Amino acid sequence: MEKTERITGVRIIRLDEVDSTNEYAKTIAHEVPEGTVVVAKRQTAGRGRKGRSWTSPEGGLWMSVIMKPPRVDPRLAFVGALAVVDTLADFGIFSGIKWPNDVWVNGRKISGILVEGKAGEYSILGIGLNVNNPIPEELRNNATSMMELTGAKLPLEEVLKKLLMHLDGWYRVFLERPDLLMAKVREKTFILGKPVTVIEGEKRISGTALDVLDDGSLLLDIGGQLKRIVYGDVSLRLF
Ligand code: ATP
Ligand code: BTN
């Protein structure tokens, strides 16, 4: 069942269950104003990039924001990542960005961001944040949740409210001062100075992560040679 309400002026569509909030958001993107948010209690087919599955049982925050910026910009993922980092900080959790689209705490993934869209029409900023949801056995070594980190169940509604507030703030920064957005991304990107491997299909490139450039790409030092890795469907592994 669909319920609609507003928090601080934002229209929120609440669903008990959906395949993916990103998919749902796409189907309504044309009819709703920018800023409309879709939140589901659980997703039956939550997705990461390249169709990888995203585990989304009840207790987590699974949401998509419909945005209508001038163009589909991969840097919108950073708007989401910084808003997650700030939200976690509000609950006493210190986190960092793992370029290009994850938020990690103590070597584990707590949140993933998925930006999709149609040029000239809309962008969907999908955010998955593990709050009180159980982490399945097979992800235990690589994933964590706010509940696991704090040892207490968190008020999901408060987490959503904070996240929406920070999203609003960082989206404005993105539109008006993208340079400031990227400066903050650099500050929060914990892989800088570290050895990483970029995986692009069958190709693997290893080097030291040097910088995140203003267009969102990653600058790698490969044995003294600089290479720019464009944000796309590349994956990144820490050594
Ligand atoms: P990259 O390092 O490039 O981001 P990734 O392995 O994190 O790659 P993504 O497509 O970004 O891949 O994210 C999907 C992956 O996230 C899944 O393959 C799974 O390993 C992991 N995952 C799925 N559900 C969750 C969850 N609820 N919390 C944390 N991690 C999850
Ligand atoms: C990733 O780590 O690759 C991104 C994961 C994104 C998950 C969120 S949950 C809400 C939205 N709906 C989806 O199907 N995916 C995103």
CA of 5 to the centre of ligand 1 (A): 30
Relative to the CA of 50, which ligand 1 atom is closest? 10
Which ligand is the nearest neighbour of the Cα of 80?
2
Residue 43 CA to ligand 2 centre (angstroms): 10
Provide the CA 92 distance to its chain's centre, in angstroms. Answer: 19
Task: Please check whether the domain covering 2-188 is classified as CATH 3.30.70.920.
Answer: no
* Closest ligand relative to 21 C-alpha: 2
Which one of 1.10.10.10, 3.30.1490.20, 3.10.150.10, 2.30.30.100 gives the CATH number of domain 195-236?
A: 2.30.30.100
Closest alpha carbon to 157 in 1, 34, 8: 8
pLDDT of 6? 59
Q: Which residues line ligand 1 (CB under 6 A)?
A: 48-49, 52, 54-55, 101-102, 109, 112, 128, 130, 139, 143, 235-236
Residues 6+ apart with CB under 8 A from 221: 207, 208, 210
Mind listing the pLDDT tens digit of every residue in the chain (239 residues)? Answer: 567 665 556 799 999 999 999 999 999 999 999 999 999 999 999 999 888 999 999 999 999 999 998 788 889 999 999 999 999 999 999 999 999 999 999 999 999 999 999 988 999 999 999 999 999 999 999 999 999 999 999 999 999 999 999 999 999 999 999 999 999 999 999 999 999 999 988 889 999 999 999 999 999 999 999 999 997 767 899 87
Give the whole-angstrom CA distance, residue 207 versus residue 55: 31
Domain range annotation of the chain = 2-188, 195-236
**To test ligand 2's pocket by mutation, which of 28, 54, 58, 130 has the most ligand atoms within 8 angstroms of CB?**
54
